[in-house]
Structure formats: structure tokens, C-alpha cells
Amino acid sequence: MSAAQKVSAANFESEVLQSPVPVLVDLYADWCGPCRMMGPVLDQVAKKVQGQAKVVKVNVDEEPELAASFGVSSIPMLVVLHNGKVVSHVVGAVSEAQALEMLQKASPVAQKDEP
């Protein structure tokens, strides 16, 4: 079971846009190799920031309207939103440290835990 929550167009506003904490959105597809590699990385990020930030996943094949709203042309694409606004994004696979840093820049509250 993934620590990152899967969201759809139906709950995107309540889970992401209205979230009181920063949200890292993983735009992915099941057939994408780099996207599959990001799964365990984002699960670790989700566990480390639990309560301080959220990590959610959006399947671009199942949610083409959401993908289009972010201008997705390549995946994986990670987007950090805070207070309903995009604060950063990156295309391609990233390390756990890079994903944590994206969340940290969104809000000083989302501190990463040291092992």
C-alpha cells in the first residue's frame, strides 16, 4: 500500500487546493518506468512529512483534465502546491532529498526529518 494518496478530479480541490499544508503532486502513468521508480521514493517522502505536508498521486491517463491543467507534456512531473498555488515543479525522476527540498521551499513548516 502506498503512503502517497491517489487523488482524482473529484477530490483534487478538497485534498490539494484547499489543503492547509503544502502538497507534492506526482503526475504519473502506470506504464512509465521512471514513474514506477519514483513510487518508493515518494512513499518515503510521504512518511517523513506526515502531518506537515502531503504527497498525492494523479494518474494522467485516468485524469487527463488534471494533467492538462498542469500542462503535462512529460512524466513523471512533480508539482508542489501551497495555499492552492503552484510554488514549484520539476519534470523527471528526483531523489528523496530533492523532493523533500521542494516541500521545504514551499513552507518552512515542512521540515525534513533526519534519520
Contact 102, 90 (CB under 8 A): yes
Give the Å distances, CA to CA, from 111 to 48, 78, 97: 9, 18, 12
Mean pLDDT, residues 4-15: 94
Q: 20 versus 3: which is more confidently predicted?
A: 20
Separation between Cα atoms, residue 37 and residue 70, nearest integer Å: 21
Among the listed residues 21, 32, 90, 91, the single catalytic one is: 32
Catalytic annotation present for 32: yes
pLDDT in tens, 39-85: 999 999 999 999 899 999 999 999 999 999 999 999 999 999 999 99
Q: Looking at the predicted structure, is the pLDDT value of residue 27 above 50? A: yes
Looking at residue 111, its pLDDT comes to 43
pTM assigned to the model: 0.90
73: left (phi over 0), alpha (psi -120 to 50) or beta: alpha
Residue 111 C-alpha cell reads as 521540515
Q: Looking at the predicted structure, is the pLDDT value of residue 106 above 60? A: yes
Looking at residue 3, its pLDDT comes to 81
Among the listed residues 25, 27, 35, 41, the single catalytic one is: 35
Residue 75: CB atoms within 10 A of its CB come to 22
Domains and CATH numbers, the chain: 5-92 (3.40.30.10)
Provide the percentage of residues in the chain whose pLDDT is more than 70. 91
List for the chain the helix, strand, coil content (%; round to 5): 35, 25, 40
Residue 50 C-alpha cell reads as 506526515
Catalytic annotation present for 55: no
